[in-house]
Structure 1
Amino acid sequence: MATYFLLPFVSLFTLLTDLNQPVEPSERPNIILIFADDMAYGDLGSYGAVGWETPHLDQLAADGARFTQFYVPHAVCTASRAAMLTGTYSNRLELYGALDHTANHGLNPEETTIAETLKSNGYQTGIVGKWHLGHHKEFLPTQQGFDSYFGLPYSNDMWPNHPETKNYYPPLPLIAGDSTIAYLEDQRELTSWYTYKSLEFIEKNKEKPFFLYLAHSMPHVPLFVSEKFAGKSEQGAYGDVMMEIDWSVGEIRKKLKELGLSENTLIIFTSDNGPWLSYGGHAGLQVGLKEGKGTSWDGGIRVPAIFTWPGKIPAGMVQNQAAMTIDILPTLAKLTGSPLPKLKIDGADIWPLIQGKKTELKPYFAYYNTNELQAVIYGKWKLVFPHTYRTIPSGTELRNDGIPVKYSYIKLETPLLFDLSLDKGETTDVSAQYPEILAQLNGFADQARTDMGDKLTGIEGTGNRKAGRISQE
């Protein structure tokens, strides 16, 4: 039986090997996809952050395209990541919520990830950071198209020190490849480790086309920051963590410039969902959006999104048309000439939007819980369906010590239509003024229900697939 142990911060990298095999140089762009965890729409300076500074991410936005209405389809970890990596609503994949150490299922190996899409076209592929699509060996990134993996199998709060369920979770494993190399008792160096491993991957693959998926574990709670950023922000721990993530982006861009790769590298930066509001000062900034993580209001599903590729994406461009993380896979496939997955996906190529053009609108859907269709978005319009959602009770005193307050629950009884261009806080129902828009969005929702089902209306879909499951022998 293998023996696992806690490693000092500086020694981890001496034990890791890179198993990537060389390929011929290519003119295709390198791709770096950076995915933050629970980072709110307003957490970057270019999106309105106060209390901390994000100069590297602000420069990334100034050098490329910044979306103001970019969404995730599921405001929770596993579902959001499955959707982004497969270009498919995760309820179609039978993946809901946030998997933990007790889960016996994960992303079905028959599904095609971004990594598999690009790998089939000669790319070297690596993931650094949080996976959260199944912690059993058959579901790990190395079984889903990634040549290398360094990171955590699920959220960083799924460890014995969880503030609400102490000792429910086992020790938090740190994985390299498909093997646990350590259990973490301290996460202060986690963002730095992810950064250094990302730089190592870029260095090793500088002569090859590569895809790097850097999935930061933070600013998801618990918040940890290295000594070099501790106490640096005005806000406190959350601001410190944001500044370290910003530093990480700066280090990656510096490495690309040093290696002469900047001009041939597309960088994408976004988040898996909005802020975990019950954690008070340890959560991000809504900047006027309603609610947060775990809801289908815009505070839960609207996220920052930046696309930068010198010479290919106009600098300083701001795109106001709606798009979603499910669009990333088909966009990258089109850019690189890679084949689309054989199984049906839901995203579309948004390269014209990234370049600043306007395109024909398409409906996007927001799901939560077990296949509840809670909202449909169509351009500036959003229709929210009757459902129960969580909220912080009025008058609750929020904390700033990593201990969450309790949610209460509200049952929305009637559908509400919003014009997000005038009402980003989703405060005013305009259904009566725009009956034709209401009918159109209801029509989109009916099509989605026929295809993927909807627990809220009791409709069984015809287009869903199964998650992968381990043998119960």
Structure 2
Amino acid sequence: MKSTLALLLFSCLFCFSCQKEEAKEPIQKPNIVLIFADDLGYGDLGSYGAKEWQTPHLDQMAQDGAKFTQFYVPHAVCSASRAALLTGAYANRLEIFGALDHTAKHGLNPDETTIAELLKEQGYATGMVGKWHLGHLEPFLPGKQGFDSYFGLPYSNDMWPHHPEAKDYYPPLPLIQGDSTLEIMDDQSLLTSRYTEKALEFIERNQDQPFFLYLAHSMPHVPLYVSEKFQGKSPQGMYGDVIMEIDWSVGEIRKKLKALDMEENTLIIFTSDNGPWLSYGGHAGLTGGLREGKGTSWEGGIRVPAIFTWPGKIKSGIVQNQAAMTVDILPTIAAITGSNMPQLPIDGRNIWPMIQGEQQEEKPYFAYYNRNELQAVIYGKWKLVFPHRYRTLPEGTVLRNDGIPVQYTHVNLEKAELYNLEIDPAESKDVSEANPEMLAKLQGYAEEARKDMGDALTGSEGSGMRKHGKYESPD
């Protein structure tokens, strides 16, 4: 099923799997812990400006390692963002769009190579805890994508009968262990704690071999729930309580690694799948002054916190201002573990030098949304946003603090706009007229991407597209 034609047609500009820097000798064979929050905003951590709640463990991680200030997801929505993270390829290339729900008859194609599959070839134990969201049917669950164990939810935690706007649409929410339903979730107050317990058990069980743990928290995606030990801990309210419990979870993992004398042989990565869901008001996070939020390709939707720590290998106190993206995580892990790169072309590159505080040659990154709309291209401090329709909260909207969303309105961006993110991260001033050469450069990158991955906004057909996995009923 793997297409030879796709390999031949793929543009070398975006195929970083064939670059020599990916083939470096491994530094050592470390354990990898990848923690992925859900809807966590750029401004939700103390080290990124949060003041209404405390995140001491994540702030310590930032002090101990490398904190990125311009780190992106390529898609500001759940399933697409997760596909890109685990495969190192833009999700639109893989035909994964939006957020898959219980009606989806497809998922991530088993032909794609995930981080887990990459590391299993190196003898790693692989475990996944938390939100999967890449296909809820058995052929698409984590066990079919390289994970030895799985405990978590198959999709978002609001896809259940208690959804505030779709009470009769979703079925009971299954908590899955392996590939079977363990129980039906009707109360999520212990979800973060249970995820943490399972993560700690995995670490303890695999302390005598290299392991990869993917911990994908279901929160702070709504509905918000928190255990008794964190209720009322934040003066902000429920959202702050939830963030503080996630921070506690990170602290527990670091404590366990230290107790087992594994801290110096473990790379921990913490980031988020997209920005905050702003229509939920007090149950949504902070953009840190960035424009818009989840579900948009403005900075508030796609720029997320990213922290990397590995004592002895990553210097403490690094603040990296160069642009990078979640598609870079797979090739970086491949480089530091000496793993083979996926056979199918991917889009990320090894950013290990960047994590160590060095600068690398700038490369273009792309923001896609909806069904394959190329909405923006980022190149270093520059960002070009193309005409498209996006959602926003009407001026003067009164937000709620009870888990009930207000309604978005939709507006059209009528012409392409260029922003200098170094001086204008809020994307408030179009500088395209003053920078025609940079405008033309980013438009050129966009044209190459359209030839490769297509673009619904311009009617472009991409030559490097692949198919998602399609469910075939045994009946």
TM range (shorter): over 0.9
Match of 1:189 in 2: 190
Match of 1:21 in 2: none
Match of 1:414 in 2: 415
Match of 1:457 in 2: 458
Q: Deviations over 1:388-412 (max 9, x none)?
A: 0000000110000000000000100
Match of 2:160 in 1: 159
CA–CA distance in structure 1, aligned partners of residues 51 and 400 of structure 2: 19
Q: Deviations over 1:22-52 (max 9, x none)?
A: xxxx951000000000000000000000210
Match of 2:88 in 1: 87
Q: CA deviation at 1:167?
A: 2.4
Is the counterpart of residue 323 in structure 1 residue 341 in structure 2?
Answer: no
What is the DSSP-based 3-state SS (H/G/I as helix, E as strand, rest coil) of the residue aligned with 1:67?
Answer: strand
Match of 1:467 in 2: 468
Is the counterpart of residue 248 in structure 1 residue 249 in structure 2?
Answer: yes
Match of 2:311 in 1: 310
Q: Deviations over 1:190-224 (max 9, x none)?
A: 00000000000000000100000000000000000
What is the DSSP-based 3-state SS (H/G/I as helix, E as strand, rest coil) of the residue aligned with 2:228?
Answer: coil
Match of 2:133 in 1: 132
Match of 2:285 in 1: 284
Q: Deviations over 1:320-356 (max 9, x none)?
A: 0000000000000000000000000000000000000
Match of 2:445 in 1: 444
CA–CA distance in structure 2, aligned partners of residues 185 and 439 of structure 1: 53
Q: CA deviation at 1:286?
A: 1.1
CA–CA distance in structure 1, aligned partners of residues 114 and 36 of structure 2: 15
Q: Deviations over 1:30-75 (max 9, x none)?
A: 0000000000000000000021000000001100000000000000
Match of 1:262 in 2: 263
CA–CA distance in structure 1, aligned partners of residues 325 and 30 of structure 2: 22
Q: Deviations over 1:78-98 (max 9, x none)?
A: 000000000000000000000
CA–CA distance in structure 1, aligned partners of residues 198 and 103 of structure 2: 28
CA–CA distance in structure 2, aligned partners of residues 65 and 51 of structure 1: 24
Q: Deviations over 1:224-269 (max 9, x none)?
A: 0000000110100000000000000000000001000000000000
Q: Is the 8 A contact 2:28 2:337 kept in 1?
A: no
CA–CA distance in structure 2, aligned partners of residues 313 and 417 of structure 1: 34
Match of 1:378 in 2: 379
What is the DSSP-based 3-state SS (H/G/I as helix, E as strand, rest coil) of the residue aligned with 2:345?
Answer: coil
Equivalent residue runs for 1:48-447 within 5 Å: 48-447=49-448
What is the DSSP-based 3-state SS (H/G/I as helix, E as strand, rest coil) of the residue aligned with 2:215?
Answer: strand
What is the DSSP-based 3-state SS (H/G/I as helix, E as strand, rest coil) of the residue aligned with 2:58?
Answer: helix
Q: Is the 8 A contact 2:84 2:326 kept in 1?
A: yes
Report the residue type matching 2:61 in the other structure.
L
CA–CA distance in structure 2, aligned partners of residues 27 and 285 of structure 1: 37
Match of 2:32 in 1: 31
Q: Deviations over 1:168-204 (max 9, x none)?
A: 1000000000010100100000000000000000000
Report the residue type matching 1:349 in the other structure.
N
CA–CA distance in structure 2, aligned partners of residues 466 and 168 of structure 1: 28
Q: CA deviation at 1:314?
A: 1.1
Report the residue type matching 1:271 in the other structure.
S
CA–CA distance in structure 1, aligned partners of residues 446 and 30 of structure 2: 37
CA–CA distance in structure 2, aligned partners of residues 314 and 419 of structure 1: 29
CA–CA distance in structure 1, aligned partners of residues 207 and 460 of structure 2: 50
Q: Deviations over 1:97-132 (max 9, x none)?
A: 000000000000000000000111110000000000
CA–CA distance in structure 1, aligned partners of residues 28 and 435 of structure 2: 49
CA–CA distance in structure 2, aligned partners of residues 388 and 114 of structure 1: 34
CA–CA distance in structure 1, aligned partners of residues 410 and 448 of structure 2: 29
Q: CA deviation at 1:463?
A: 0.4
Match of 1:4 in 2: none
Q: CA deviation at 1:467?
A: 0.3
Report the residue type matching 2:151 in the other structure.
F
CA–CA distance in structure 2, aligned partners of residues 362 and 352 of structure 1: 14
Q: CA deviation at 1:270?
A: 0.1
CA–CA distance in structure 2, aligned partners of residues 200 and 349 of structure 1: 30
Report the residue type matching 2:324 in the other structure.
A
CA–CA distance in structure 2, aligned partners of residues 359 and 88 of structure 1: 20
CA–CA distance in structure 2, aligned partners of residues 241 and 181 of structure 1: 24
Report the residue type matching 2:126 in the other structure.
T
Q: CA deviation at 1:375?
A: 0.1
Report the residue type matching 1:56 in the other structure.
H
Match of 1:3 in 2: none
Q: How many matched pairs? A: 448
Q: Deviations over 1:132-188 (max 9, x none)?
A: 000000000000000000000000000000000012100000000001010010000
Match of 1:11 in 2: none
What is the DSSP-based 3-state SS (H/G/I as helix, E as strand, rest coil) of the residue aligned with 1:291?
Answer: coil
Report the residue type matching 2:349 in the other structure.
A
CA–CA distance in structure 2, aligned partners of residues 167 and 412 of structure 1: 35
Match of 2:46 in 1: 45
Q: Is the 8 A contact 2:28 2:336 kept in 1?
A: no
CA–CA distance in structure 1, aligned partners of residues 168 and 140 of structure 2: 25
CA–CA distance in structure 2, aligned partners of residues 139 and 468 of structure 1: 8
Report the residue type matching 1:201 in the other structure.
F
Q: Is the 8 A contact 2:128 2:214 kept in 1?
A: yes
The alignment-based identity, stated in percent, is: 73
CA RMSD of aligned residues (A): 0.8
Alignment gaps of 5+ in structure 2: 1-26
CA–CA distance in structure 2, aligned partners of residues 166 and 250 of structure 1: 36
What is the DSSP-based 3-state SS (H/G/I as helix, E as strand, rest coil) of the residue aligned with 2:229?
Answer: coil
When the two structures are superposed, what TM-score results if normalisation uses the length of structure 2?
Answer: 0.94
Q: CA deviation at 1:287?
A: 1.4
